[in-house]
Amino acid sequence: MNQSPLPDRLEMLLIAEWLDAGTPDDGLIHLRVADAARELGCDDDRSGMLEVMGALGTLEESRSIEIEWAGAAGSPAVIRLGADLCRDARRALEPPPA
C-alpha cells in the first residue's frame, strides 16, 4: 500500500468513472483534476489539484494507468486504465459462483 491513501482512493474513483462510462473495452475515461480533487476531499485550491496530480503520477509509475494531458488548461485528461485494473474491476462485479 502507498504511504498516502490518496493514490488508492483515486484508483477507486477512476474505476467508478470507468463503470459509469459503461466499462469501455479500451479503458478510456476523461477526468478533470479539479473535479477529482473535490470528489476526494482535497483542498479546493492549487494544493489539492497538485495532490491529485501527484497521485495520478504514482498510478502512472505503477503502470496502473496511462495519462494523456489535454493541451488547454482545465480540459479533462484522457486516462486509460490498465488491462489488469479493468480485469480486476470486472472480476469484482461478477456474481459469486452458485
User: What digits encode the pLDDT tens for the residues 1-11?
Assistant: 447 899 999 99
Cβ–Cβ under 8 Å, residues 1 and 8:
yes
**Mean pLDDT on 53-63:** 96
Q: How many domains does the chain have?
A: 1
pLDDT in tens, 22-41: 999 999 999 999 999 999 99
Q: Quick check: is 50 in a domain? A: yes
**Domain range holding 49?**
6-92
The CATH number linked to 17 is 1.10.10.10
Task: Indicate the pTM of the whole model.
Answer: 0.88
Q: Quick check: is 1 in a domain? A: no
